[in-house]
């Protein structure tokens, strides 16, 4: 039977696909990496984070139909979250690169100080670090605001999304720390703080994900949640995000920090966190279902 074209039905969005998913993943990961690099006072990790955000920005540009006119997206920050996000990324680049250069000169090399620079460094370096950290948090969180501004997709209209994206970005940053341990960071004060933050952040991510799917909301939103928990996206969301991206790393972190198993398992937690947060972005974008026009 021939498909009838103009039937009223709920359809998932197809406008934002893999390029945007990868863009949000790389910008979020990079921002998370920079945030933790600031805690660790690590020039190497900051540089890695900035490169990741740059790769994400390239994916954002590649998704535009007219990438050569991409500069235009910064013109409407007064109302558009696309503009605000693009401007946020630009300011992030400027502040982060300034901080990297300053930190490099202050430390006299790539290795971290035994104490984070914000406890021992000069005031201007601390202020620069605070601003760079704030923009990193903004870059991690803004996709949540961006999705929330799309009135046609009720599932994305949730106050939880900016927090969830920010936590997800930070979890990616954690994943990179555990995935690529740097020998000179092992015993630093900052690393001890990161370890203490890890378990709390993963638990917070778990609670937020649960509240996202358990909150009772309008019909179209319930369709999206059904898609995530019982529909086509259940493998990616339940197995990939909840089990693989949150519960798995949580178990490993608790076992490692409790001294039950060795630290050799930490890179596995890193891989799980990183891959889980990629799948988180995939699931959230794919679960966006349009409200019917009628």
Angle subtended at Cα 97 by Cα 77 and Cα 121, rounded to the nearest 5 degrees:
115
Select the residue interacting with another protein from 2, 3, 7, 183 (CB under 8 A): 7
- Inter-residue contact 189 to 116 (CB < 8 Å): yes
Q: Which parts of 41-116 fold into alpha helices (H)?
A: 43-63, 81-107
Cβ proximity to another protein, 17 vs 181, nearer residue: 17
Give min distance, CB of 229 to another protein, in A.
23
Tokens representing 74 are 């910064």
Distance between CA 190 and CA 117 in Å, rounded?
A: 10
Q: Of 55, 58, 83, 145, which one interacts with another protein (CB under 8 A)?
A: 83
Whether 277 and 168 have beta carbons less than 8 Å apart is answered as yes
* Distance between CA atoms of residues 103 and 101, nearest Å: 6
For position 63 contacting another protein by CB under 8 A, the verdict is: yes
Q: Is 75 in the site for another protein (CB under 8 A)?
A: yes
Q: Which is nearer to another protein, 154 or 205 (CB)?
A: 154
Q: Which is nearer to another protein, 32 or 162 (CB)?
A: 162
Tokens of 241: 């995000």
The smaller minimum CB distance to another protein, of residues 149 and 229, is found at 149
CB of 249 to another protein, least distance (A): 32
- d(C-alpha 14, C-alpha 16), whole Å: 6
Our CB check for another protein shows the closer of 65 and 264 to be 65
Name the DSSP letter for residue 72. Answer: G
- The site map against another protein for 182-221 (x = CB under 8 A) is ----------------------------------------
Place of tokens 């890179």: 267
**x/- binding map, residues 275-294, to another protein, per CB under 8 A?**
-------------x-xx-xx
Task: Compute the distance between CA of residue 196 and CA of residue 271 in angstroms, rounded to an integer.
Answer: 19
Supply 193's token pair. 């703080």
- Residue 92: φ, ψ to 5°: -60, -45
Helix (H) or strand (E) holding 284: helix 266-286
Distance CA 155, CA 239 (A): 21
Residue 80 C-beta: closest distance to another protein, Å: 4
State yes or no: residue 74 binds another protein (CB under 8 A).
Answer: yes
- Is 66 one of the binding residues for another protein (CB under 8 A)? yes
Kindly indicate which of the ranges 27-35, 123-131, 144-152, 175-183 contains the residues binding another protein, using the contact rule CB under 8 A. Answer: 144-152
Taking CB under 8 A as the criterion, which residues in 10-39 touch another protein? Answer: 13, 15-16
For residue 12, list its beta bridge partners: 289
- Residue 70 interacts with another protein (CB under 8 A)? yes
67 touches another protein by CB under 8 A: yes
The single-letter DSSP state of residue 184 is G
| Residue 3 engages another protein in binding (rule: CB under 8 A) | no
Q: Which residues bind another protein (CB under 8 A)?
A: 4, 6-8, 13, 15-16, 63-67, 69-70, 72-76, 79-83, 86, 146, 149-153, 288, 290-291, 293-294
């Amino acid at each position: 039977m021939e498909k009838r074209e103009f039937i009223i039905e709920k359809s998932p969005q197809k406008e934002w696909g893999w390029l945007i998913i990868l863009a949000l993943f790389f910008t979020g990961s990079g921002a998370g990496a920079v945030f933790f690099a600031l805690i660790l006072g690590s020039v190497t990790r900051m540089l890695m984070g900035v490169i990741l955000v740059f790769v994400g920005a390239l994916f954002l540009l590649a998704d535009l139909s007219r990438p050569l006119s991409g500069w235009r997206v910064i013109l409407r920050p007064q109302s558009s979250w696309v503009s605000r996000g693009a401007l946020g990324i630009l300011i992030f680049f400027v502040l982060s690169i300034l901080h990297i250069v300053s930190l490099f000169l202050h430390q006299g090399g790539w290795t971290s100080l035994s104490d984070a620079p914000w406890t021992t460094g000069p005031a201007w370096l601390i202020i620069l670090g605070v601003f760079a950290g704030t923009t990193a948090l903004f870059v991690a969180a803004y996709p949540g605001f961006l999705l929330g501004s799309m009135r046609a997709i009720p599932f994305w209209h949730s106050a939880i999304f900016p927090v969830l994206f920010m936590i997800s970005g930070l979890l990616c940053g954690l994943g990179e720390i555990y995935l690529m341990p740097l020998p000179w960071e092992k015993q630093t004060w900052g690393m001890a703080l990161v370890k203490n933050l890890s378990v709390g952040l993963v638990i917070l991510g778990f609670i937020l994900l649960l509240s996202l799917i358990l909150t009772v909301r309008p019909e179209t939103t319930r369709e999206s949640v059904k898609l995530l928990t019982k529909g086509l996206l259940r493998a990616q969301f339940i197995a990939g995000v909840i089990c693989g991206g949150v519960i798995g790393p949580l178990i490993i972190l608790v076992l490692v920090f409790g001294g039950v198993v060795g630290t050799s398992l930490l890179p596995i937690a890193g891989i799980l966190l990183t891959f889980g947060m990629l799948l988180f972005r995939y699931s959230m974008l794919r679960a966006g279902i349009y409200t019917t026009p009628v």
